[in-house]
Structure 1
Amino acid sequence: MSAILREAWRTAVPDLDDRHGPLPPLMLLLTVVTGLIDAFSYLVLGHVFVANMTGNVVFAGFAIAGAGGFALAPNVVALVAFAAGAFGCARVIRTVWSHRARVLILALALQVLLVAGAFLTAEVSGSPVKAGTRYALLSLLGLGMGVQNAAARALAVPDLTTTVLTLTITGTAADSRLAGGAGSRAGRRLLSIAAMFLGGLIGALLVVNVRVSLPLLLAAVLLAAACGIAWRLTRSSAPWTRPL
């Protein structure tokens, strides 16, 4: 247990001389954002995610099979928007690939604009969301989460993908000492799982009990804060800023 706690602490409060420097806590923050945004998309926009594309592929299959409560078009829109966001982000960040903080600031700036635009769209449309507005929101948020995923992939901080937990959960269980493994990075992996859970929980509470658009506002605020931190980090020339 003490090793898990030490690993969790090193993830949340990292050594700046580490290979990934201050990136791990920022990746955790983006994982919280994922939970917030997927809570909004699933609960407000129907049975569709804008970050968890595995779910959307399965939901598309449900829709084609005629299962109640699932529609094909929203899932396709989310998938296409996500792919477009990842493609566009990859094209942009390759221009600054010599510095990892500059990769992050560009991706975050794009994502702030997209999520803030989605929040304003949701505010104007009111609740329940109209069909046309639903597709606009899926497009904006899908683009934003594609951008985030492409940036996280480029930065490649181990076990902190910000959107996908399947391999994280597998690694936590399969690498545990009870399974005969070394138990490495269990603290980091558990923090990633907790961050996604926290984002989903807060997002759902806001949608159900307060105002449906508030998860997007909170996500935009967190992204703006991360953007400000990343801006300061662009001045660093520490070893962690060099590409992998």
Structure 2
Amino acid sequence: MAVRSPVSHRVTVVALLLLTFATGLVDAVSVLVLGHVFVANMTGNVIFLGFWFVPHSGVDVAAALVAFVSFVAGTVVGGRLARHLDPYPRRWLTTALSIEVVALTALSVLAGTGTLDYHDDTKLVLIAGLAVVFGIQNATARQFGIQELSTTVLTQTIVGIGFDSRLAGGTGEREKLRYTVVLTMCAGAAVGATLTLVTVAPVIALAGAVVATAMALFYFGPAAT
């Protein structure tokens, strides 16, 4: 059952778009720096796990497995938070997103100081931490029942663009929102990819700042009417 957002629809959409942008930022880091693994989009990792059965596929299966298991663990945490705190939606969202912000900040510091290296086995800790964060985010965002804004997966959003388009005999309903979601994640990935050319840890910190902004909107935003 969808949970009613504690803030207006417009503010809810803006906050979820910010979380989508953060997804693009961090998946850019994971794919381009941590060894072609996704920490937010699990479809790619499931495919990578399938390559496990193909010798010399060149895929870091260990990283994909760690990301997958950690993401599922994050969804469990997100689910428990939702079930315990959904009568208090502002507190629930603040708690879930606060965990994200703290985790992203800590991972950024650990990576920036070299405690977690991008090229040795300690990167698995970084992958695991990021995957848990986005598991929590996905489990939280899905409670709103806005199919286009899961914040980590775009497949159904893109299907909706085509299926409901006028070319397919549809009305084009929600077309603007769907295109906005796709462009937002693309923009996050572009910014993340560009920044990784010169730095890495601050990109994770930037994602934390974006999530913190979304959290502030949910906490201070005007109440839904």
Note whether the superposition's TM-score is higher than 0.5: yes
Match of 2:3 in 1: none
Taking the aligned partners of 2:7 and 2:83, their CA distance within structure 1 comes to: 24
Taking the aligned partners of 1:237 and 1:230, their CA distance within structure 2 comes to: 9
Pick aligned residue for 2:218 from 226, 230, 233: 230
Pick aligned residue for 1:89 from 70, 78, 88: 78
Work out whether residues 12 and 218 of structure 2, in 8 Å CA contact, stay in contact via their aligned partners in 1: no
Structure 1 residues 109-148: aligned runs within 5 Å: 109-125=98-114, 129-148=118-137
The size of the alignment, in residue pairs, is 220
Q: Percent identity, please.
A: 39
Deviation at 1:17, TM superposition (A): 8.8
Does residue 156 (structure 1) correspond to residue 175 (structure 2)? The answer is no
Deviation at 1:102, TM superposition (A): 3.0
Pick aligned residue for 2:45 from 51, 56, 59: 56
Taking the aligned partners of 1:58 and 1:169, their CA distance within structure 2 comes to: 19
Greater shift in the superposed pair: 186-195 or 95-104:
95-104
Structure 2 gaps of 5+ residues are 1-5
Taking the aligned partners of 2:14 and 2:124, their CA distance within structure 1 comes to: 32
Match of 1:98 in 2: 87
Structure 1 residues 17-56: aligned runs within 5 Å: 20-56=9-45
Q: Aligned in 2, Cα 1:127/1:101: closer, same or farther, shift over 3 Å? A: closer
Match of 1:5 in 2: none
Taking the aligned partners of 1:238 and 1:17, their CA distance within structure 2 comes to: 4
Taking the aligned partners of 1:199 and 1:25, their CA distance within structure 2 comes to: 14
Taking the aligned partners of 1:157 and 1:216, their CA distance within structure 2 comes to: 26
Structure 1 residues 138-217: aligned runs within 5 Å: 138-208=127-197, 210-217=198-205
Deviation at 1:121, TM superposition (A): 1.7
Taking the aligned partners of 2:145 and 2:126, their CA distance within structure 1 comes to: 28
**Residues 92-122 of structure 1: CA distance to partner in whole angstroms, max 9, x if unpaired?**
2222212433332121111111111211121
Q: Aligned in 2, Cα 1:188/1:97: closer, same or farther, shift over 3 Å? A: same
The letter of the residue matching 1:218 is: L
Q: Aligned in 2, Cα 1:32/1:121: closer, same or farther, shift over 3 Å? A: same
Greater shift in the superposed pair: 55-64 or 169-178:
55-64
Deviation at 1:158, TM superposition (A): 3.7
Q: Aligned in 2, Cα 1:85/1:128: closer, same or farther, shift over 3 Å? A: closer
Taking the aligned partners of 1:213 and 1:126, their CA distance within structure 2 comes to: 11
Work out whether residues 78 and 140 of structure 2, in 8 Å CA contact, stay in contact via their aligned partners in 1: yes
Taking the aligned partners of 1:126 and 1:161, their CA distance within structure 2 comes to: 32
**Residues 120-158 of structure 1: CA distance to partner in whole angstroms, max 9, x if unpaired?**
121122896242321110111010000000001112224
Work out whether residues 23 and 40 of structure 2, in 8 Å CA contact, stay in contact via their aligned partners in 1: yes
Q: Aligned in 2, Cα 1:83/1:180: closer, same or farther, shift over 3 Å? A: same
Q: Aligned in 2, Cα 1:128/1:107: closer, same or farther, shift over 3 Å? A: closer
Taking the aligned partners of 1:110 and 1:127, their CA distance within structure 2 comes to: 20
**CA-atom RMSD, angstroms?**
2.0
The letter of the residue matching 1:71 is: D
Q: Aligned in 2, Cα 1:86/1:93: closer, same or farther, shift over 3 Å? A: same
The letter of the residue matching 2:209 is: V
Work out whether residues 50 and 78 of structure 1, in 8 Å CA contact, stay in contact via their aligned partners in 2: yes
Deviation at 1:173, TM superposition (A): 0.9
The letter of the residue matching 1:238 is: A
